[in-house]
Structure 1
Amino acid sequence: MTTGLSGTGTSLLELPVPDRKNDLGAARIVSVGTATTENSYSQRELLDIFNITDPKVRSVFLNSSIERRFLTIPPRDADGNCIPEAQGELLAKHERLSLDMGARAVRTCLENAGLDLADIDYLCCTTTTGFLVPGLSARLIREMGILPRTSRVDVVGMGCNAGLNALNATASWAVANPGKVAVMLCVEACSAAYVIDGTMRTAVVNSLFGDGAAAIVLIADSPDTAYAPADVPAGSGGPRILGFASQVITEALDAMRFDWDDAHGKFSFYLDPQVPYVVGANAEQVVDRLLDGAGLRRSDISQWLVHSGGKKVIDAIRVNLGLTRHDVRHTIAVMRDYGNLSSGSFLFSYERLLQEGVTSAGDYGVLMTMGPGSTIETALVQW
């Protein structure tokens, strides 16, 4: 479930043919590691566990293109019914699951890079499924034994698009601190963000999300190591991050939101039925802006790693960008096996791409996430 690769840096305006003389000034992804919670369930198993009998709700679950998801089910009473969890209990669950999954993902990505906890210079933690003060980064530093001097930042509440927001910040830190080790962690305990009732609104949300964490190591080359492969961490060949492009769809600001639900006394996620079409209609302009900055066209992109936001979202992105099902094969596979993992979904797809072993030096890739705002985030990478 883990793969580690690394590469060298370049600039956004680089020509399609890689040039070692221009390798300075970009962060590269050295390795990736993922983790989930303990138990996975099929959609039919979840319908039975939560005693969902409404035909319309069952149809939402069974036609989601999801086969299994990792979740942590609430405790049950003597009759086998799930006991409702108060907001305080959900926050405690978020902390417990996030620390466990997050620590395992971080350890794995470090191991794949041939690094230790003591090598971490910067830690960026991203989550939407709970709120902690001090943040998850500080708690991981204490629980894992990461050096207290480690610089850190927490990206909280941005939603499914947040992995690329955090990657932008982490890559910028790496470039400003060449040769130092930056770790970015996306951890989402979606089991801690559920509302259980019989409404269609919650049925759509409850049919989608699963627990998962993904971490990557980023390093930017420094002048004294850029031309010395022996000094580069093991597993050379990973992609350089060339640039980012973002689009906030302001007219759809409330189409995806996580806010307080007075009826249930807890936070609840809302998805507007029009989200797939709104996101799809805006995908072209942000992707083309990303590629225009590097003098590229969509046909120049060998690998597309799109957030597994849901069947309709994936289809809308694919149709509007003119992509094939093969182009989004890893997005579809992650959706099938894990559901929507929120901010870390695209890194699970990235891991599968590396395991596939089909990338070649010079290949370009586009990373794409979508979430509340409504927002589309993109990044351009090159192997």
Structure 2
Amino acid sequence: MPQPVGLLALSTANAPYEMAQEDVLAAARRVMEPNFPNFARLAPVFATAGILKRQSVMPMEWYLEPRGWPERMAAYLAGAVDLFEQAARAALDEAAVTGAEVDIIVTVSSTGIATPSLEAQAMGRLGFRPDAARVPVFGLGCAGGATGLALAARLAASEPGATVLFVCVELCTLAFRMDGLTKADIVATALFGDGAAACVLRSGAEGFAEIAGYAEHTWPDTLDIMGWRVDPQGLGVIFAQAIPPFAREKLRPAMDAMLASQDLTAADVDRFICHPGGMKVVEALEASLELGQGSLDHERAVLADHGNMSAPTVLYVLDRARRAGLPKRSVLTALGPGFTASTVTLAA
């Protein structure tokens, strides 16, 4: 990295409607069980996912009716722009920066389509300059919080003194499906929530952490592990392979290689800050990285309070970790479609 990049601010923004996991299960049973014979066999995932409550951009009743592309994307545009504004405004306020002082805006979102993209939609609300560079990124999925932060850091390092705003917004609940149900749809209904997070970065500036490195690893022949299917009803989740056993077996060698590229080993890392895809994924991460069982406490807390929000989730974990006090060196990491592991190394 040419010049150290300071992480000046971090904020999160919750979607407006809260759903208790027991209420989601009751609604899912009422609507899904008549059309999906194996629902009773899969229903325990609602209890074992480690989730107590989640937030959504629409009230629960909205999801119980058939919805097609136009309705889902209208809900995405309205909800995502609002959450973008909330997260960005809070991060800018924390950094004591105005929208007019932002030079580059990196936006990550994979749960809907907006053209013009979200940062353009929010431009007037936040007072961005007409010459601000816009970098919208689609398709990163759950890895987007880590990969997007790394991209923002690369851009900040390449333009010394530039202020970079990174925002990720995911409305995973808009992919809840009641038609042609699959096992993946049931799991998604048990796991996913909505949320947003934002960061402000600047090279050469002192923040609550310094971005000291980043790395990615994409495994070959894994395109079908995670992604979206697209049909007239909207986006539907693909889980072609079980992710926890894959992470348990494959993550550690990839992590060792990513750390080695920065002249580090796992022993040099004081805290791994992980994307909690679900309770079984958290347990697999602890096993693969040889962490003590239960050591990923912030990850469990975020999962319990917000569910899996895809890209923003790991930044929610980082926010809890920094409030508790970041150690000297931590590594933020997330797994996502590709199938890819993405890391950002932080120095406090």
TM-score by length of 2: 0.92
Corresponding position of 1:215 = 198
CA displacement at 1:66 relative to structure 2: 0.7
Deviations 1:61-95 (A, max 9, x none): 12211111102346749xxx921111111011111
Read off the aligned partner of 1:310 and give its amino acid letter: G
Secondary structure of 2:335's match?
strand
Q: Is the 8 A contact 1:74 1:85 kept in 2?
A: no
Q: Is the 8 A contact 2:84 2:118 kept in 1?
A: no
The equivalences for 1:94-113 within 5 A come to 94-113=76-95
Aligned to 1:19: none
Relative to 1, partners in 2 of residues 1:111 and 1:251: Cα closer, same or farther, differing over 3 Å?
Answer: same
Of 41, 44, 68, the match for 2:53: 68
1:195-228 Cα shifts (integer Å, max 9, x gaps): 124542210111111000000000101xxxxxxx
1:186 counterpart SS class: strand
Matched, 1:191 2:173: yes
**1:275 and 2:243 correspond:** yes
Q: Give the direction of change, closer, same or farther, for the CA distance of 1:327–1:219 in structure 2 (3 Å limit).
A: farther
Who is 2:18 aligned against? 40
What residue number does 1:166 align with?
148
The question of whether the paired residues in 1 share the 8 Å contact of 2:54 and 2:305 is answered with yes
More helix as a share of residues: 2
**Which secondary structure does the structure 1 equivalent of 2:312 belong to?**
helix
Amino acid at match of 1:33: S
In structure 2, the residue matched to 1:318 is: 286
User: Which residue, out of 260, 263, 270, partners 2:230?
Assistant: 260
1:330 aligned to which of 285, 291, 298: 298
Q: Give the secondary-structure state (helix, strand or coil) at the position aligned to 2:153.
A: helix
| 8 Å CA contact retained: 2:219, 2:338 | yes
Q: Give the alignment partner of residue 56 of structure 1, picking from 12, 22, 41.
A: 41
Partner of 1:228: none
What amino acid maps onto 2:80 in structure 1?
Answer: S
The number of residues matched between the two structures is: 340
Q: Does structure 2 retain, via aligned residues, the 8 Å contact 1:245–1:287?
A: no
| Equivalence for 2:345 | 380
Match of 1:90 in 2: 72
Letter in 2 for 1:308: P
1:155 aligns with 2:137: yes
Cα deviation for residue 292 of structure 1 reads 1.8
| Identical amino acids, percent of aligned pairs | 28
The separation in 2 between residues aligned to 1:296 and 1:248, in whole angstroms, is: 20
Deviations 1:27-58 (A, max 9, x none): 12111011011121111111223425542232
Q: Deviations over 1:234-273 (max 9, x none)?
A: xx552211222211122221110102246xx322111134
Q: Is the CA contact (8 Å cut-off) linking 1:303 and 1:327 kept in structure 2?
A: no
Asked if 1 retains the 8 angstrom alpha-carbon contact of 2:146 and 2:314, the reply is no
Shift in alpha-carbon separation, 1:75–1:325, aligned structure 2, 3 A: closer
Greater CA drift, 174-183 or 163-172: 163-172
- Select between 27-36 and 299-308 the one with higher mean Cα deviation: 299-308
Corresponding residue number in structure 1 for 2:323: 355
Contact 1:304 1:327 in 2 (8 A): no
**Cα offset for 1:142?**
3.2
Q: Which amino acid aligns with 1:369?
A: A
Q: Is the 8 A contact 2:173 2:189 kept in 1?
A: no
**How far 1:364 moved relative to its partner?**
0.6
How many angstroms apart in 2 are the aligned matches of 1:75 and 1:326?
Answer: 32
TM-score (norm 1): 0.84
**Structure 2 counterpart of 1:200, from 183, 197, 202:** 183
Any gaps of 5 or more consecutive residues in structure 2? 34-38
TM-fit CA distance, 1:111? 0.9
Note the residue ranges of structure 1 that are not aligned, 5 or more in a row: 1-10, 12-23, 222-231
2:309 is matched with 341
What is the root-mean-square deviation in Å for CA atoms of aligned residues?
A: 2.0
Match of 2:214 in 1: 244
Kindly indicate whether the alpha-carbon contact (under 8 Å) linking 1:256 and 1:269 is maintained by their aligned counterparts in 2: yes
- Among candidates 359, 362, 366, match of residue 331 of structure 2: 366
Counterpart AA for 2:338: G
8 Å contact kept, 1:123–1:183: yes
| 2:260 equivalent to 1:292 | yes
Conservation of the 8 A alpha-carbon contact between 2:247 and 2:288: no
